[in-house]
Amino acid sequence: MIRLASKDIKEAIEKDLTQEVASLKASGVEVCLAVILVGEDPASQIYVGSKEKACERLGIGSLVTRLPKETSQKELLALVKRYNEDPKVNGILCQVPLPKGLNEQEVIEAIDPDKDVDCFHPFNLGLLAAGAPRFMPCTPFGVLQILKRSNIPTQGKKVVVVGRSNIVGRPLSILLSLKGWDATVTLCHSGTQNLAAECAQADILVAAIGKPEFIKSEFVKPGAVVIDVGVNRVEDPSHPKGSKVVGDVDYDAVSTKAQAVTPVPGGVGPMTISMLMYNVINAARFQKGMPPFQL
């Protein structure tokens, strides 16, 4: 069984991205990301800190605005408008989930689609569904980079995606069905009948349901490739912190049957931020009328 850790892939991509940022800078183009974080969700604080560090590593400028959880919808929309109109800001990202009482969808739709580096705006999701994406949804594109750079072909393969979220499952199922990736995609969800049997058809099984260690060995066809997108914090008294992070896949059980499995942590998770950096670079290129940088 192959453990599909992403460290080397991430490093190779970030090396190319760092060079691209430097070459843009040499031609007078500075790249800058604006991040909005509302409230004190601990996981969101960690993610936003990692995004700031990634910008620093790659030479991308970052503006991070941390707002209290009492922030009103009106104040939040005013900040988005300010970043929309700021020519120095190439990409805008509002960390989700937002605190209760704020309207996430309205904020997403207020972001200028040309600066929507999360690829959450309906305009960008529409371009993706039309087969002409401007931005790549970050976690789904991270999954595709792991497959491509591990020499796991998707062409003609049966891929089963479990989970239909707007951030991962649905955009990933669309991407995999596009020309070039050419997979035969089944999108499963909480209403799917005989889920284990559906999953056991897959050459490539993607778990993105947010349930700790839900995918057991009977969900997996012998020799399948299993991609675990889950990040679940569970209690573990044997750990110094009293908890640990596990994926949506029962890694030990599935390892005995699969050809390859992505670990958690160290698999899909770290790729998301590198793909965000890729989108920020391409936002800057798009705004200057340049063709996209290809990975």
Report, in Å, the least distance between residue 1 CB and ligand GUN: 28
Among the residue ranges 58-66, 68-76, 93-101, 249-257, the one whose residues contact ligand GUN (CB under 6 A): 93-101
Q: Restricting to residues 132-191, name those near ligand GUN by CB under 6 A.
A: 138, 167
Is the Cβ–Cβ distance between 71 and 109 less than 8 Å? no
Residue number, 114 or 118, with CB nearest to ligand GUN? 118
User: According to the binding rule CB under 6 A, does residue 62 interact with ligand GUN?
Assistant: no
Angstrom distances, CA of residue 245 to CA of 205, 210, 234, 263: 20, 12, 6, 11
Which is closer to ligand GUN, CB of 207 or CB of 260?
A: 207
- The only residue of 93, 161, 183, 226 in contact with ligand GUN, by rule CB under 6 A: 93
| Residue 118 binds to ligand GUN (criterion: CB under 6 A) | yes
Considering only CA atoms, which of 33, 37, 36 is closest in space to residue 88?
33
Which region holds residue 153: left if phi is over 0, alpha if psi is between -120 and 50, else beta?
A: beta
> What's the closest the beta carbon of residue 150 comes to ligand GUN, in angstroms?
22
Buried b / exposed e over 127-150, threshold 16 CB at 10 Å, is: bbbeeebbbbbbbbbbbbbbbebb
Which pair of tokens denotes residue 214?
């839900």
Q: How far is the CB of 124 from ligand GUN (least distance, A)?
A: 13
Residue with tokens 């401007």: 134
What residues act catalytically? 51, 95, 118
Annotated binding site for NADP(+): 163-165, 231
Which positions lie near ligand GUN, rule CB under 6 A? 93-96, 118, 138, 167, 272
